[in-house]
Structure 1
């Protein structure tokens, strides 16, 4: 059995389809989606439709991202967060044109059921962004931190590569899990368009919201496949490159 972690999608249905085709999925595969399914490119609602279809065939684990939270608010009571609207929300709202109220209700249920994090049988942690508690995700007081935090990745990047896990100064956040998989902070911010690894943290947000790609990674082997760059798939759109 194989398990794949799939990074931020941001409404890029064409990119997600490319990744799924390249993975050549088998019936016993598991797919862990790292959040931020919407906001950016023009097919956010259509991405959710595809995810719902995938869940009927494969074991799928869906993590909640900050953009998913904003979309959930809008689907529930038409709340339009100004930050959301400026960062892809407008395009997401437009993607729902022609969707019935029943279809929107199905999507709302999808967003409401998203996991804040997932820990597998090998003690690997999957979450959208990060956490701040030295005692682990279960002890995070402000749950929204799990889809907003960037300090976990910042800390991992800045960690002395020569420091041992047994050293008293080794960050306590990192010792709770064998590996940590995140999205949220695009690797393209560091001029890298492939997944990045720092300490035991793997970042697989490869900038799909902007000029990058969607990535799917085998969590055991770390082999990965990627879509084309999103601007090339949506040549008449800007995504979040505004």
Structure 2
């Protein structure tokens, strides 16, 4: 059986169109959404609604991303508004309020927040129940990653780190130079969160330097001999480059290996 994975859609219906084409190609595959469904493009509400329908129909699983958590915090108590708005939340509020009410309101206004709470209660409830990881076959899907510096990354990585971590997942403990971390799990790891064009380094024991020139953001596989691979699939949709419209990955659930993909701007 196959499993389709997409991460960091960031309100892009173009990415959702790419996904639909891959789902039509693999009609029996389950889809795993790996977080960050909002911010960046103007269709956050439509993207989340589509994901909600697919999860409700039993065709998909969804996990939590850091942008989704910031929206949830805003709906619940508004303590992190400034941080979210600096990451595109202000434009998301404006577009979602307009989509729900037909009105243009200042995103920082109390009227906008009340409209968001009133019109998107079901979306908040959906996000609130999302897990921070999904295990399917031989694959662990997670938004940002695990803290691989921990003795037991699965047990000791906090929920916050699972949706926010970068360097402690991508690279080994020694920060003197960017050397890719090993995979301590007997599972393939699939993550988003960090646009792959920003990931660069080399393998432990190999002087060959690996780097993709941003804004190109292809699917990146880090695979040591004798270990399960790690796949980074964030296609840079939140980067602001129009040509960055996501990556769709198809995996074999039994081997954990990439079978097929649709990659933009590579």
Structures share fold, TM-score greater than 0.5: yes
- Paired with 1:2 and 1:16, the residues of 2 have a C-alpha distance of 19
157, 171, 183: which one aligns with 1:154: 171
Give the CA deviation at 1:213.
2.2
Report the secondary structure of 2:56's partner residue: coil
- Paired with 1:58 and 1:26, the residues of 2 have a C-alpha distance of 16
CA 1:108–1:54: 2 relative to 1, 3 Å: same
**Which residue of structure 2 lines up, in the alignment, with residue 112 of structure 1?**
128
Q: Retained in 2: the 8 A contact 1:184–1:205? A: yes
**Which residue of structure 2 lines up, in the alignment, with residue 136 of structure 1?**
153
Alignment of 1:6-85 (within 5 A): 6-24=6-24, 28-85=28-85
Whether 2:196 is the aligned partner of 1:187: answer yes
Larger relative contact order (CA 8 Å, sep ≥ 6)? 1
224, 228, 245: which one aligns with 1:213: 245
Give the CA deviation at 1:114.
1.0
The TM-score, its normalising length taken from structure 1, stands at 0.79
- Paired with 1:53 and 1:67, the residues of 2 have a C-alpha distance of 20
Give the CA deviation at 1:18.
2.7
Give the CA deviation at 1:209.
0.7
Considering only aligned residues, what root-mean-square deviation do their CA atoms show, in Å? 2.4
Instruction: Report how many aligned residue pairs link the two structures.
Output: 215
List gaps (5 residues or longer) in structure 2: 101-114, 199-211, 224-228, 253-257
CA 1:227–1:24: 2 relative to 1, 3 Å: farther
List gaps (5 residues or longer) in structure 1: 160-169, 230-242
- Paired with 1:105 and 1:91, the residues of 2 have a C-alpha distance of 19
- Paired with 2:265 and 2:125, the residues of 1 have a C-alpha distance of 31
Moved over 4 A (4+): 100-103
Q: Retained in 2: the 8 A contact 1:125–1:177? A: no
- Paired with 1:77 and 1:143, the residues of 2 have a C-alpha distance of 19
Query: Which has the larger Rg?
Result: 2
Give the CA deviation at 1:51.
0.9
The TM-score, its normalising length taken from structure 2, stands at 0.73
Q: Retained in 2: the 8 A contact 1:19–1:226? A: no
Q: Retained in 2: the 8 A contact 1:65–1:128? A: yes
Q: Retained in 1: the 8 A contact 2:73–2:79? A: yes
